[in-house]
């Protein structure tokens, strides 16, 4: 499988060569050679997802309604369409080995000045996300990240500084908590809208415990 960075990283959303060649040219090339752009993430559930998406749009971010509110596990990555079945099996295996965990969002932060991003902080569940993204970002989509993984929920990206400041201030008191029960695979369409392809639920049962082994003290003969 061919897996390459498309146009962002999972943390600082830095633009790369494929995007710089021009959006239309990239889309035509993707369609011509049977390549698509996919990503894997944990969806922020309702009502929080829609609320943050609407607030992002209100800050003037044009990408707000093209990107479902999420925590990234695998950033946008180009793959061959013929390799999607193998990716599906890989993600299903990762999910089967996972267990639900608590996600809690609380407050805001920013990647500025390194990158023009304001985000809602992951206050709980960050360690579980880190372990999960390492498993997802392996096998058929093994790749390195440009920056250390930092789970977050983007609420403003690449807009005017005043609007970025407003997003960071107005959502500073935002908090939400839920149990993450799985993750999803998304595909970016020719219209730049990300659409869900499949949900991968975690296993809900704990693995069977090993039988307790009783030990017996043995006294060596004298």
Whether omega for the bond prior to residue 201 falls within 30 degrees of 0, making it cis, is no
What does the alpha-carbon distance between residue 15 and residue 10 come to, in Å, rounded to a whole number? 11
pLDDT of residue 39: 98
Could you tell me the residue ranges of all domains in the chain?
4-201
pLDDT of residue 91: 98
Q: Angle of helix 48-58 relative to helix 161-170, nearest 10 degrees?
A: 150
Give the Å distances, CA to CA, from 215 to 206, 209, 219.
26, 18, 13
Tokens linked to 172: 């500073």
How many other C-beta atoms can be found within 10 angstroms of the C-beta atom of residue 29? 14
Whether omega for the bond prior to residue 113 falls within 30 degrees of 0, making it cis, is yes
Fold that domain 4-201 belongs to in CATH:
Cyclic Phosphodiesterase; Chain: A, (3.90.1140)
Closest CA to 5 of 154, 14, 116: 14
Could you read off the pLDDT tens digit of each residue along the chain, which spans 222 residues? Answer: 434 333 333 333 333 333 333 344 344 445 547 999 999 999 999 999 999 999 999 999 999 999 999 999 999 999 999 999 999 999 999 999 999 999 999 999 999 999 999 999 999 999 999 999 999 999 999 999 988 999 999 999 999 999 999 999 999 999 999 999 999 999 999 999 999 999 999 998 655 555 444 444 444 444
Kindly write down the DSSP assignment for every residue of 60-118, as one continuous string: T-TTGGGS-SEEEEEEEEEEEGGGHHHHHHHHHHHHHT---EEEEEEEEEE-TTTSSEE
What is the pTM (predicted TM-score) of this model?
0.80
């Amino acid at each position: 499988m061919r897996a390459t960075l498309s146009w962002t990283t999972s943390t600082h959303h830095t633009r790369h060569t494929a995007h710089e060649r021009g959006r239309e040219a990239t889309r035509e090339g993707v369609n011509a050679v049977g390549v698509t752009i996919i990503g894997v993430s944990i969806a922020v559930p309702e009502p929080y997802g829609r609320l943050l998406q609407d607030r992002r749009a209100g800050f003037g971010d044009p990408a707000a309604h093209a990107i479902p509110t999420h925590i990234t596990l695998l950033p946008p990555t180009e793959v061959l369409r013929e390799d999607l079945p193998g990716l599906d099996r890989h993600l299903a295996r990762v999910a089967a080995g996972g267990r639900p965990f608590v996600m809690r969002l609380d407050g805001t932060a920013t990647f500025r000045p390194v990158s023009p991003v304001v985000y809602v902080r992951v206050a709980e569940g960050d360690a579980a996300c880190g372990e999960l993204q390492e498993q997802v970002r392996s096998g058929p989509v093994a790749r390195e990240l440009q920056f250390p993984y930092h789970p977050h929920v983007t609420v403003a990206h690449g807009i005017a500084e005043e609007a970025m400041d407003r997003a960071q201030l107005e959502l500073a008191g935002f908090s939400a908590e839920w149990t993450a029960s799985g993750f999803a695979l998304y595909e970016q369409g020719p219209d730049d809208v990300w659409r869900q392809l499949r949900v991968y639920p975690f296993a809900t049962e704990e693995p069977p415990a090993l039988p307790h082994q009783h030990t017996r003290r043995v006294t060596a003969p004298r």
